[in-house]
Every structure is written in structure tokens, then in C-alpha cells.
Amino acid sequence: MTLSPAQQDRLAYRRRQTLLSVLVAALSTLVLGVLLVVAVTGAPGWARVRESFLDASVARESLPDVLRGLWLNIRLLFFCAIGALALGLVVALLRTLRGPVFFPVRLLATGYTYTFRGLPLIIVLYVMTLGVPGLRLQGMPSTLVLGGIALVITYSGYLAEVFRAGIESVHPSQLAAARSLGLTYRQTMRHVVLPQAVRRVAPPLLNDTVALQKDVGLVSLAGPIDAVRAAQIHTAETFNYTPYIVAGVLFVLLAIPLIAITDWVTLRAARRQS
């Protein structure tokens, strides 16, 4: 198939334009990078800053401990994310129940989301890890587990609202169609409403999971040593801040896949909308 001269001309023009914009982008990135490096390394305090924040030997020395701490972050993130998603979904479903029989349940679920979205995480964490063990009950779980529970409680408050927004975004006609086929309320929720709701709110759900990833470290306030706390211990020993940079880099590396997934899901959701 041969293209008309007009189309050939159009394609050639577009190719030239693409090449040009790539060149411009590369050049401007390079210029900006050089400027930044010159500005930072040329600063009067650069030598001292490099010494106390970017010391390779301190980094090597602290890495094993920081990694051990990071492993705690990862485990906590995994279990807390699952717990908060599950609890959030349950609370959201309870809030959508209709009918006077469910009034107390609805009230409780609503109160839950109001309370734990308003209450600072640190306070929930202190109450759970310092207050609850004071009850001296039999079979009291470890501080780590209690801290995890505090995270789950707080985050499920947010996630419940995200789920609820998703559930309410499904048009009532979908419910009517499902019920008219003889599906029960539960079957309707499970097969018709929730699949559509979760798809729609997947981006904000994942966003909250990224936020949770940064907050799980707060359990170290109650004792367990996470990556940041491990870095802090090393800093206190050596009076060098490099371990914080090590921990920071690891956190970012850990977040990259999650953030990339979030972006991908968001993009896909946006495409499906149009």
C-alpha cells in the first residue's frame, strides 16, 4: 500500500517534531542536573555535609542493622495492609446496610470511621502499646502486634470511607437489575456491587497503602526497632547522619514498585472511564 504524498509529508513532519522534542528534553535535563550539582557541591558547607550525611564507611557499617529494621517494616506493612483492607471493607459494608434493624450497627460503624479518622495515629499507638498491656490480661500479645493493631484500626477508618465511596458510586439500577434476577442482597453485593466498587477506588486504596508504608515505622515509638529507629541508634553512636540517608534510600526503593502499581492502576481506571 502506498501512502499519498500528503500523508508521507505529515509522517515525516511528525518524525522531525518528535526528534526535536526529545533533543530539547535531554538538553534541558542535562543543564538542570549540572546546575544542581554545581550549586550543591560548590556550597560553602558542602564538605561538612558530605562528611556527616554521605560517609561510605558509616553507610556500610549501618546497612545490616537498617536492613534488619526494614524487614520489620515490610512484615508490618504486609499484615497491616491486609488487616486494614479487610476491616475497612467490613466497616464500609456495615455502613451501607439499610433498614431499622441495622440502625445500631450502622451507628457503630459510622462512629468508628469518625473517631479513627479524627484521632492522631500516635495516640492510638500509645494507648494500644502502653495502655492496653497495663490491663495485665492473660495472653496479651507482644508490643509489635499491639502496634500493628493500632495501625490497622486507624487505617481501616480511612479505607472504610474509600470503600463506601466506591460502593455508593455504583448506580442503583445495577442493584435493581441484580435483585430482579433473584440474587439476594449478599449475592448482589458480592458479584455485582463490590467488583465494580473496588475497581473504581483501587487508586485511592493503593495510595493509602503507600502512606501506611511510611507510618508502620511509628511502632518503634513503643520499642520495636524499625529501619528509621535502627538508623537513629547508629547515628547516636557515631554522630554521623549517613544511616538516615541509607534508611531513606531503602524506603524509596521499597515504595517504587507500590507507587508504580498505583500509577498504572490509576491510568487504567482513567482509560476505562473514557
Partner 1 sequence: MTLLSCRGLRKEFGGHVVLDRLDFDVAEHEVVALIGASGSGKSTLLRCVNLLEEIDDGTIHLDGEHITDPRVNPDKVRQRIGIVFQAYNLFPHMTVLENIVLAPTRVHKVPRATAVATAREWLARVGLADKAGEYPDRLSGGQQQRVAIVRALVNSPRLLLLDEVTSALDPELVGEVLSMIRDLKSEGVTMVLATHEMGFARQVADRVCFLDGGRVLEQGPPETVFAEPAEPRTRQFLSRIIEAGRL
Residue with smaller CB distance to partner 1, 178 or 201: 178
Size, binding site for partner 1 by CB under 8 A: 17
CB of 183 to partner 1, least distance (A): 6
Residue with smaller CB distance to partner 1, 102 or 251: 102
Closest CA to 78 of 144, 162, 148: 148
Cell of 274: 473514557
Residue with smaller CB distance to partner 1, 143 or 196: 196
Residue with smaller CB distance to partner 1, 123 or 177: 177
In degrees, rounded to 5, the angle at the alpha carbon of residue 257 between the alpha carbons of residues 253 and 261 is: 155
Q: Is 54 among the residues that bind partner 1 (CB under 8 A)?
A: no
Residue with smaller CB distance to partner 1, 197 or 219: 197
CB of 193 to partner 1, least distance (A): 10
Max CA separation in the chain (angstroms)? 86
Contact 209, 156 (CB under 8 A): no
CB of 171 to partner 1, least distance (A): 8
Whole-number Cα distances in Å, 50 to 36, 56, 104, 167, 234: 15, 10, 60, 51, 17
Question: Alpha-carbon distance 117 to 159, whole Å?
Answer: 10
Residue identified by cell 439500577 is 173
Question: Alpha-carbon distance 176 to 227, whole Å?
Answer: 51
Q: Is 182 among the residues that bind partner 1 (CB under 8 A)?
A: yes
CB of 169 to partner 1, least distance (A): 12
Q: Is 181 among the residues that bind partner 1 (CB under 8 A)?
A: yes
The contact pattern for partner 1, residues 151-180, with x = CB under 8 A and - = no contact, is ----------------------xx-xxxxx
CB of 106 to partner 1, least distance (A): 20
Contact 130, 222 (CB under 8 A): yes
Cell of 126: 500509645
CB of 102 to partner 1, least distance (A): 18
Q: Running DSSP on this structure, what letter comes out for residue 142?
A: P
**Considering only residues 22, 32, 187, 252, which one is a binding residue for partner 1 as defined by CB under 8 A?**
187
**Considering only residues 184, 237, 256, 260, which one is a binding residue for partner 1 as defined by CB under 8 A?**
184
The count of C-alpha atoms lying within 13 angstroms of the C-alpha of 225, restricted to the half-sphere facing its C-beta, is 11
Question: Alpha-carbon distance 189 to 186, whole Å?
Answer: 5
CB of 92 to partner 1, least distance (A): 18
Cell of 44: 560553602
Q: Is 199 among the residues that bind partner 1 (CB under 8 A)?
A: yes
Q: Is 268 among the residues that bind partner 1 (CB under 8 A)?
A: no
Residue with smaller CB distance to partner 1, 2 or 273: 273
Cell of 269: 481506571
CB of 35 to partner 1, least distance (A): 49
The site for partner 1 (CB under 8 A) is made up of: 173-174, 176-184, 187, 191-192, 195-196, 199
